[in-house]
Amino acid sequence: MTKLNGSWVETANSPDTDFPLNNLPYGAFHFAGGDLRAGVAIGDHILDVTALEKAGLLDLHESNVFSRGTWNDFMALGSGVWEGFRGFLTSALSEGAKQQSDFEPHLVAMADATLEMPFSVTEFTDFYAGRHHAFNVGSLFRDPANALPPNWLHIPIGYNGRASSVVVSGTDITRPNGQLKSPDMDMPVFEPSKRFDLELEMGAIVGKPSKGRVSVQEADDMIFGYVLLNDWSARDIQAWEYQPLGPFQSKATATTISPWIVTKAALEPFRSSTPAREKELLPYLQEPGPMLYDIDLEVALAPEGKKETILSQTNYNVMYYSAAQQLTHHTTSGCPMRVGDLLGSGTISGPEKNNRGSLLELSWGGKEPLTLDTGDKRTFLEDGDTLTLRGVARGDGFRIGFGECRGTLRPAPPLD
Amino acid sequence: MTKLNGSWVETANSPDTDFPLNNLPYGAFHFAGGDLRAGVAIGDHILDVTALEKAGLLDLHESNVFSRGTWNDFMALGSGVWEGFRGFLTSALSEGAKQQSDFEPHLVAMADATLEMPFSVTEFTDFYAGRHHAFNVGSLFRDPANALPPNWLHIPIGYNGRASSVVVSGTDITRPNGQLKSPDMDMPVFEPSKRFDLELEMGAIVGKPSKGRVSVQEADDMIFGYVLLNDWSARDIQAWEYQPLGPFQSKATATTISPWIVTKAALEPFRSSTPAREKELLPYLQEPGPMLYDIDLEVALAPEGKKETILSQTNYNVMYYSAAQQLTHHTTSGCPMRVGDLLGSGTISGPEKNNRGSLLELSWGGKEPLTLDTGDKRTFLEDGDTLTLRGVARGDGFRIGFGECRGTLRPAPPLD
């Protein structure tokens, strides 16, 4: 499926849509005052699958799969159902499909809908798997000759994040207060973070549970789909809190995900191998095939009321570890994985300065302010800034998009 | 309520029961082949509240609170309901209560029941709030003159753990495999952990959700109750993985909790202040009243088929930070807290060697093997070892117990 598949939904056939028939990503939405519904993006419309199920127009051999309006119950049905349903949708939305007249009443304009969290996040794990990001951060905090931690080339380093703080694109982000202490201060203070940052990441969603260790192939099979992910980070809170047990409140304010889950099936034509290994991996982590994806990514920043500047452009295929490798490592201890677990890839920075996926790297720790197209300068984020992540896999005459992953930063809450 | 309250359940009036009328802890159980039920421990019996609800003998103004057999739905009803229900149970189980004949058919022998997870863990956070533990670990890995990390006296240091790995007492624990690398090795290996350990902790359960920062008093009000908690830890996996983002797979094999949630109300007479501050805390972390508890704790180890040895005895009141302070800190970034969140206190070690809450400390990093009463020697855990934590608050002629927090270590899974 590397060429455009034609649909009776006209706008899905445009080369400029993120949502051609080849994509069919899964989301959740509501209209003003309405209840939550599960939907599938097609062109500039959403197919209301909660309504289709209620109307008896789906054939899933299960009832009430979409009554909660999220995709967790569907994921839990297993990969056979994932494939069957995608095949059914592809056929029903194709040019000339006999379902057109039945389905048309359940097609709603995306512009009229409010997009919500497409799934309920069970647990959230964030990784640190970008070679260039780890090198940049290590160079900033240690030195370039010794930038990578000794374990980095052997382990996809990760830590548990906070599922309760994951929000959907469009949700405002409140600058956090926190304990801060720079080395020149005697005592910490409790103040708004002054070094609030973004992290450009991809998120992988676990759709199949496990107990005990899984192979990299099994891990890949467990992944349901991918989202864009912005792991908002308070660098000054992190610097003071993170030794010895890792980031905690610095990463707990919010993590924004894109509204559409792009399925692994839709990304299949874009598989890409991890880069050459600098040290051989232990056998349990070796990939049996390409498990990254060729997805162009960009970060845009718009100061309040002004136009956006593209801060960075990179690609998911620069990562050192794939989500499948991360998931395999996650299970080594016997850690049970559940439907709805979310794995953040780690910040995706490429080799050049304009490929960096965080302001920490782009402003080199705040020492080299960026000048935006509007003339504004930035080291870290300012109140009112809107951050937008975009991602696209490019086929022949079509593209696969995720919808925007966007958030606007609001001032910190009062201190009392 | 510091004296024994008499009950018509005779065994609840014994000075040797963990479950007098003053306690009334909340758990979940089933009989062979039966469904999960919520229950309240009283003497050597369990009051089947799922059955009481079905029989119309509870008056909660809500239906199906206990139909799932766990306490999450009850917690979500709020602290007014918590108080009212405890008052109702205390009255109905008191000597001479008019409910005796109605309730007696729903009293089941604890010995016949299998105890299950009393609540569904939403997210799990583990702290590092024991002064003696942090000093011991810092002395082992750094030096005694510089043992505490610089932030330790200012922040209740914590990290996110893995909710999916929390299990109830009695669940077997499988020794994890993992990446190990000692400093003398060129490359890591993937092998069973050789330094598998326990951590004696208390767990606090969040019963009321929050968005945004809460005060220490509000945090205390959000806590529903406490359990004993054993945070099984693979020290060798941790040593290799934990820089720079903290423990991950070393803590993800399992965390065992006691089967009974002892409510904050039952522990009220045993409140205890945190020790004197070595450095003044920032105002947001200062306690308005005593929020630790005087709970005697012990750890016992029994090699397979042999009698147990008490490894350690300590008290929860030695902790430097209370669960309320930890929960307050947890919310500073705006991190949302939800019903069913579990906070581990951190390892509870007292000032003396026989007060230490982990084998890492007891065997001083493996350099000083312990001799058990059976003559066996231990540095870390061996396959077949059964670890049991016990906790008791002592009133006048009665005690408040949690039930045992027990797990037996089984061999690591095959490597292929």
Residue pair A203/A343 in contact by the 8 Å Cβ criterion = yes
Residue A32 has pLDDT above 90, yes or no: no
Identify the residue among A248, A281, A286, A347 best suited for mutation to test binding to B, counting B beta carbons within 10 A and taking the highest: A248
Q: φ and ψ at B138, to 5 degrees?
A: -65, -35
Q: Please say if the pLDDT value at position A122 is more than 70.
A: yes
Closest CA of chain A from B338, distance in Å: 8
What confidence score (pLDDT) does residue A205 get? Answer: 99
Query: What phi and psi values does residue B75 have, to the nearest 5 degrees?
Result: -55, -40
Q: Which residues in chain B are closer than 8 Å to A164, comparing Cβ atoms?
A: 122-123, 335-338, 341
- Bigger pLDDT: A141 vs B255: B255
Closest CA to B202 of B349, B308, B89, B300: B349
Task: Give domain limits for chain A.
Answer: 10-116, 124-410
Please provide the size of chain A in residues. 416
- C-alpha angle with apex A24: A21 to A26, nearest 5 degrees? 165
**A282 contact residues in B (CB cutoff 8 A):** 179, 188-190
Mean predicted confidence (pLDDT) in B106-118: 97
pLDDT of residue A143: 87
- Which chain A residue's Cα is nearest to B250? A333
CB contact under 8 Å between B240 and A190, yes or no, is: no
- Alpha carbons within 13 angstroms on the beta-carbon side of residue A415 total 12
- The answer to whether B359 and B213 are in contact (CB under 8 A) is no
State residue B385's pLDDT score. Answer: 98
Q: What is the pLDDT of residue A33?
A: 86
Distance of CA A115 to the CA centre of its chain: 15
Task: Out of B128, B253, B329, name the one closest to residue A333 (CB).
Answer: B253
Q: What is the mean pLDDT of residues B178-192?
A: 96
In chain A, what percentage of residues exceed pLDDT 90? 95
Query: Is the Cβ pair B179, A413 closer than 8 Å?
Result: no
A124-410 architecture in CATH? Alpha-Beta Complex (3.90)
- Dig out the tokens for A162 from the structure: 């906070």
For residues B122-136, average pLDDT:
96
pLDDT tops 90 at residue A2? no
What is the per-residue pLDDT across B79-95, written as a single tens digit (0 to 9) for each?
999 999 999 999 999 99
Minimum distance, in Å, between the CA of residue A413 and any CA atom of chain B: 9
| Disruptive mutation site among A182, A193, A237, A245 for chain B (greatest number of B CBs within 10 Å) | A245
Confidence band of A127 (pLDDT split at 50, 70, 90): very high
A81-107 pLDDT, tens digit each: 999 999 999 999 999 999 999 999 999
Mutate to test the interface with B, among A160, A182, A185, A347 (most CBs of B within 10 A): A160
What pLDDT score does A65 carry?
97
Rounded to a whole number, what is the distance in Å from the CA of A59 to chain B's nearest CA?
29
* Residue in the structure block whose two tokens are 């939403």: B122
Residue B96's pLDDT band (boundaries 50, 70, 90)? very high
Whether the link from the prior residue into B283 is cis, omega within 30° of 0, is: no
Q: What is the 3-state secondary structure (H, E, C) of B149-216?
A: CCCCCCCCCEEECCHHHEEECCCCEECCEEEECCCCCCCCEEEECCCEECCEEEEEEECCCECCCCCH
Three-state DSSP class for residue A107: strand
Strands A166-168, A255-257: parallel, antiparallel or unpaired by DSSP? parallel
Give pLDDT, residue B302. 98
The H or E element that residue A390 is part of is strand A386-394
User: Which tens digits make up the pLDDT trace of B202-234?
Assistant: 999 999 999 999 999 999 999 999 999 999 999
Interface of A with B in 131-160 (CB under 8 A): 149, 151, 154-155, 157-160
Q: Residue B179 and residue A154: Cβ atoms within 8 Å?
A: yes
A328 contacts chain B (CB < 8 A): no
Torsion, Cα of B246, B252, B253, B259 (10° steps)? 120
Does the annotation mark B330 as catalytic?
no
Chain A / chain B CB contacts < 8 angstroms: 180
Mean pLDDT of A11-36: 96
Asked whether the predicted pLDDT for residue A1 surpasses 70, the reply is: no
Is A337 in Cβ contact with B154 (below 8 Å)?
Answer: no
Residue B258: pLDDT over 80: yes
Exactly one of A132, A133, A329, A330 is catalytic; name it: A133
Instruction: Please choose, from the candidates B314, B270, B311, the residue with its C-alpha nearest in 3D space to the C-alpha of residue B292.
Output: B270
pTM beyond 0.90: yes
Q: What value of ipTM does the predicted structure carry?
A: 0.97
CATH topology of domain B10-116: SH3 type barrels. (2.30.30)
pLDDT surpasses 60 at B1: no
Cα(B292)–Cα(B323) distance, integer angstroms: 7
